[in-house]
């Protein structure tokens, strides 16, 4: 199954390090980051899982729940979590799905045969509260993920869902935004953007971030 942006992601029930999880029920009204790992006791993954645990307060501020996946079983996960906590000086505070049967990996197209026929690639899925897929990023097994970038994208998605703006290149929270081209009426622009805006070109209008 190939998931595309805007698709409703499939539900599943799967074992995890914190017990069986019905994905839709577990996600509730939160945003979700689902991210996969090739196997337990792998070095790059150990650093990633530790980093995500340390970002709990950042995810909480954004109403985001992280959930990881690895193709090994629950018992293996529990041993690995001990290593993660020890080596990364943290406490893993979110579930790791145990996908030994590859059920979730296949549902979310996490195995790319030309990269490796048995192991999942480093997939990242950002899913909104309506269970719509909003972002996918796929990293090779050798490259650790940039969770600062993932947080930046979530900030952009949550901002642009509520205001008539898009975020420009290298945008960071608090930076100027782009007014969407579909807005033309001067009165509407004045109402929506009381801080004003700069017209660089008719199609490129910059405004201070509306919610700051």
Catalytic, 177? Answer no
* CA–CA gap between residue 209 and residue 212 (Å, rounded): 6
* CA–CA gap between residue 184 and residue 199 (Å, rounded): 12
Place of tokens 């009426």: 185
Residue of 21, 34, 45, 92 with catalytic role: 45
Total length of the chain: 212
How would DSSP label each residue in 145-178?
--HHHHHHHHHHHHHHHHSSEE--TT--TTS-EE
Q: Residues with catalytic annotation?
A: 45
């Amino acid at each position: 199954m190939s998931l595309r942006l805007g698709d409703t992601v499939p539900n599943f029930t799967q074992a995890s390090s914190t017990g069986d999880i019905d994905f839709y029920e577990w996600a509730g009204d939160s945003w979700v980051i689902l991210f996969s790992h090739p196997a337990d006791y792998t070095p790059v993954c150990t650093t990633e899982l530790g980093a995500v645990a340390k970002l709990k307060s950042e995810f909480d501020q954004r109403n985001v729940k992280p959930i990881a996946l690895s193709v090994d079983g629950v018992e293996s996960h529990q041993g690995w979590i001990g290593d993660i906590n020890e080596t990364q000086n943290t406490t893993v505070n979110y579930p790791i799905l145990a996908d030994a049967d590859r059920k979730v990996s296949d549902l979310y197209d996490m195995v790319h045969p030309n990269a490796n026929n048995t192991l999942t690639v480093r997939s990242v899925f950002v899913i909104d509260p309506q269970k719509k897929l909003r972002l996918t990023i796929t990293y090779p097994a050798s490259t650790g993920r940039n969770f600062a970038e993932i947080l930046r994208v979530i900030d952009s998605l949550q901002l642009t869902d509520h205001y008539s703006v898009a975020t420009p290149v290298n945008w960071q929270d608090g930076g100027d935004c782009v007014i969407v081209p579909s807005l033309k009426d001067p009165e509407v622009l004045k109402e929506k953007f009381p801080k004003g805006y700069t017209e660089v070109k008719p199609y490129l209008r910059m405004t201070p971030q509306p919610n700051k």
